[in-house]
Structure 1
Amino acid sequence: MSDGGLTQRRWRYRWVVLGVATFTQAASGFFVQGIGAMGIHLQRDLSLSTTQLGLLLSAAQLVPLAGLLVAGELLDRYSERWVVGIGASVIAVSLGVGSLAPGYISVLIVLLIVGAGYSPVQPGGSKSVASWFDSSQRGLAMGIRQAGLPLGGVLAAAALPSLAVSLGWRATLMAGALVALLGAVVFMCFYRSPPTRSAPRDDGPHDTGPQASLRSPLGARLRLLREPSMMRIILSGMSLVSVHSGVGVLTVLHLHEVASVGAGQAALVLVATQGAGVAGRICLAAWSDRSRSGRYAWVVSCMVAVTMGMTALTTPLGRSPAAACLLFIWLGFFGIGWYGPWVAYLAESAPPGRTGFALGSAMAVNQVAVVSAPPALGLLKDLTGGFTPAWGLLSAMTAVALMVTARVGCHHRPDASRHRTTTL
């Protein structure tokens, strides 16, 4: 076989890399994504308030505030194969130990460790996919890979509540441990770094090796966060990830308490909502590959859509079982699906050699909202006795971010030249 044929064969391996990265993402987030679906059972078995339930989600996201920055630096120096694999293994071990936890406080501590393990999985999987795919297919590939998180949520929402009923909540942690361990093993066994080529693969960002990152002073790398494209990424990301958190922790409770939907049926609606998020991440990112308006225009569209959906939940539509279910599916498609075009835009905004740092930094800033939103929304619900203030707050936050970012966001596009149809 000629060298050219061998190289082409190696590049076809990118679809294996995409599948492996997606599976590991789903496996790593499996348990945490199922906490919302188990909300009614956890509140009953552990005597939790809505605020305490939200703190469970926040505990898993607290360490990544700093961990994502560290992970970004590691990913610019070492192979994703080991950084991601070790992170997923930490998740598995901590959840396994957590299955022996005596109560609520112990589970909180376990989830803090889970967050440390998850820190390299998110940016590492994104970087591995971005390095294998050129700009003509990167949006679709990143959308499929980012669909791993809601896909894990779909499976968790379908399986964990039943497991909690039949075997108890501790069994759900052990199930999460086994799934995460499988994700770690699959990634370490099948991931490979992309082959080198004599000609550039595309016009997008490239990591030029560890030394490129090392030669860049920390101050210069931090200045990257003040770039206009990064500011748009940060503002839109914080508002939309808050919506995602709100949908995850409040959907089942809202349907059960406001729309009088049974606990089992409400969990199934969350399954459908997460499924809509899977479809959204793939479809919205794929459409952004072909959009002449740029990837960020699709992020703006998602902000408009979720503002409309959450506002509708505060009206009588939110009390109608059928209408509320449809609204949550709408919010799933746009309020979870936004991440596909968003992370593709982020990867293409990064300078050469700083992809890992850019991904880790922006995701770390998002973690502020991921950590604060669930307990804040839960506390708001506990204090007011209703869900309208929570949905109204999320709607207002998204509308403000939309007004700040929309006008400039659609004109400054680092991905403007990505419409070239280079094919590997």
Structure 2
Amino acid sequence: MPTEARRWAMLAASLLSAMATTCVVSGVAFLIPELHRSEGMSLTEASTLAAAPIFGLLLSTYVWGIALDRFGERRILLLSLTLTIAAMTTACLANMWDAPTSVLGLALLVGGVTSAATNGAGGRIVVGWFPPEKRGTAMGVRQTAQPLGIGVSALTIPVLSREFGVGAGLAVPLIVTVIATVVVLVVVADPPRPSSSASGAHAASNPYRGSQFLPRVHGVSILLAVPQSMLWTFVPAWLIVEHNWSPLTAGVLVTVSQILGAAGRIGAGRWSDVWGSRTKPIRLIAIGATASVGLLAFTDWCNSPTAAVVMVTASVITVADNGLAFTAIAEFSGPGWSGRTLAVQNTGQYLWMATSTPLFGMAIGAFGYPAAFLIAAAAPAAAIGLVPPDEERKALAVAPAP
């Protein structure tokens, strides 16, 4: 059995692989200012291109989840990452050779398809290798992949694309994916699966039957993803285009907000371990997200210089719930179903991101950023009453890791 250090090394590998997916799927949003400035695209056109990898992820997430349940984490992670390297290399070459925008969009779409395995695989690694009393903290660390990936993208892609062109920005997710592939190859091993006598009945049982716990968690997560995706996608353009910040300064501020958001996820995970609840902290986070994004709308409408500070606060609060939902879903589902239930979780969230990105682009163009922020704040307000009580949770389906 692995040592504690090896477990944390595998956690780091799963974090890096999910971070690569974040850079592929969300990093293109940081090209929006340059696509708007130098390529002459409207905000709606650029944001539609940025949504291409999200749509690709949606097409394949559930299929990758079935593969994870059947074949395990290591081989699926390596296959996913290797194919993503090929897709992003194609995207870089398409830009270098001045291929039509449709070709670039197709390459980005394929990148989303190939990268979709990492989120579910990382969640399964955490639940499989860490005991219940440490899972919230470990999953909080694992879920820092999203804010860290956003932070790396914010700090590099706008600056590189302005100085060296869109192709240089596209190279960032490619490089992160190559690094993640090497680390996964070196350290990741599949968690042990419970014996059929211990878990066969549960493994064969559909966790969606007889309980509303999973559908409610999925619904809450989708609603809480609304302000997350809106801030990730449009804050760089808000700062650079709307408020005339330099790409470097805007990138630094977004990176700081994402690093703080990563720390917030770890804190929320530790909070859930100590409290013995995954859902009670989610309800409080929904309340905080409603208040902070609503305040951002107000301060931006007032042209207040505090709006940037409020944006950082909102960015930290709105991402804090992800690890808690992932942990609750994986624990509830067990190893026989967690690949699929986590895939449903990711599909719901990314479906919203894919469909909402062009819609928010149109809303900003028509009504301005304050109205768009206010719309985003309404979603976590709706989530508050949907959070399921702890009483609906089954006993943990996965035994403590050996």
TM-score by structure 2 length?
0.90
1:412 to 373, 392, 396: 392
Distance in structure 2 (CA, Å) of the matches to 1:282 and 1:415 = 24
Residues 352/268 of structure 1: CA separation in 2 closer, same or farther (3 Å cut): closer
Instruction: Report what 1:379 is aligned to.
Output: 362
Distance in structure 2 (CA, Å) of the matches to 1:225 and 1:244 = 30
Distance in structure 1 (CA, Å) of the matches to 2:167 and 2:209 = 41
1:48 to 41, 45, 48: 41
Partners of 1:255 and 1:324 within 8 A in 2: no
Percent identical pairs in the alignment equals: 21
Distance in structure 2 (CA, Å) of the matches to 1:166 and 1:122 = 32
Distance in structure 2 (CA, Å) of the matches to 1:213 and 1:380 = 49
Residues 213/50 of structure 1: CA separation in 2 closer, same or farther (3 Å cut): farther
Instruction: Report what 2:309 is aligned to.
Output: 326
Distance in structure 2 (CA, Å) of the matches to 1:30 and 1:93 = 15
1:74: Cα distance to partner? Answer: 0.5
Distance in structure 2 (CA, Å) of the matches to 1:276 and 1:415 = 33
Residues 245/207 of structure 1: CA separation in 2 closer, same or farther (3 Å cut): farther
Partners of 1:280 and 1:338 within 8 A in 2: no
Partners of 2:48 and 2:357 within 8 A in 1: yes
Distance in structure 1 (CA, Å) of the matches to 2:337 and 2:73 = 14
Distance in structure 2 (CA, Å) of the matches to 1:153 and 1:316 = 24
1:318: Cα distance to partner? Answer: 5.3
Residues 183/226 of structure 1: CA separation in 2 closer, same or farther (3 Å cut): farther
2:378 to 389, 396, 399: 396
Instruction: Report what 2:52 is aligned to.
Output: 59
1:207: Cα distance to partner? Answer: 8.6
Distance in structure 1 (CA, Å) of the matches to 2:210 and 2:358 = 29
Instruction: Report what 2:294 is aligned to.
Output: 311
Residues 101-140 of structure 1: matches in 2 within 5 Å?
A: 101=94, 102-140=99-137
1:185 alignment partner AA? V
For structure 2, the 5+ residue unaligned runs are: none
Distance in structure 2 (CA, Å) of the matches to 1:286 and 1:207 = 30
Distance in structure 1 (CA, Å) of the matches to 2:12 and 2:201 = 28
1:151: Cα distance to partner? Answer: 0.9
Residues 232-247 of structure 1: matches in 2 within 5 Å?
A: 232-247=216-231
1:184 to 181, 184, 195: 181
Moved more, 145-154 or 312-321: 312-321
Instruction: Report what 2:239 is aligned to.
Output: 255
1:106: Cα distance to partner? Answer: 2.3
Partners of 1:142 and 1:340 within 8 A in 2: yes
Distance in structure 2 (CA, Å) of the matches to 1:120 and 1:276 = 26
1:73 alignment partner AA? I
Distance in structure 2 (CA, Å) of the matches to 1:318 and 1:250 = 16
Residues 133-148 of structure 1: matches in 2 within 5 Å?
A: 133-148=130-145
Instruction: Give the superposed CA RMSD.
Output: 2.8
Residues 211-290 of structure 1: matches in 2 within 5 Å?
A: 216=204, 221=206, 224=208, 227-256=211-240, 258-259=242-243, 261-290=245-274
May I ask how many residue pairs the two structures share in their alignment?
397
Distance in structure 2 (CA, Å) of the matches to 1:194 and 1:20 = 14
SS in 2 for 1:47: coil
Asked if 1:350 is matched to 2:333, the reply is: yes
SS in 1 for 2:189: coil
1:55: Cα distance to partner? Answer: 1.7
Residues 355-366 of structure 1: matches in 2 within 5 Å?
A: 355-366=338-349
SS in 2 for 1:63: helix
1:257: Cα distance to partner? Answer: 5.0
Partners of 2:218 and 2:348 within 8 A in 1: yes
Asked if 1:94 is matched to 2:87, the reply is: yes
Residues 120/416 of structure 1: CA separation in 2 closer, same or farther (3 Å cut): closer
Distance in structure 1 (CA, Å) of the matches to 2:360 and 2:62 = 26
Partners of 2:81 and 2:115 within 8 A in 1: yes
Partners of 2:294 and 2:377 within 8 A in 1: yes
Partners of 1:207 and 1:353 within 8 A in 2: no
1:35 to 23, 28, 34: 28
Instruction: Report what 2:351 is aligned to.
Output: 368
Distance in structure 2 (CA, Å) of the matches to 1:27 and 1:194 = 22
Instruction: Report what 1:3 is aligned to.
Output: none
1:175: Cα distance to partner? Answer: 3.3
1:214: Cα distance to partner? Answer: 12
Distance in structure 2 (CA, Å) of the matches to 1:308 and 1:360 = 30
Moved more, 260-269 or 340-349: 260-269
Partners of 2:300 and 2:369 within 8 A in 1: no
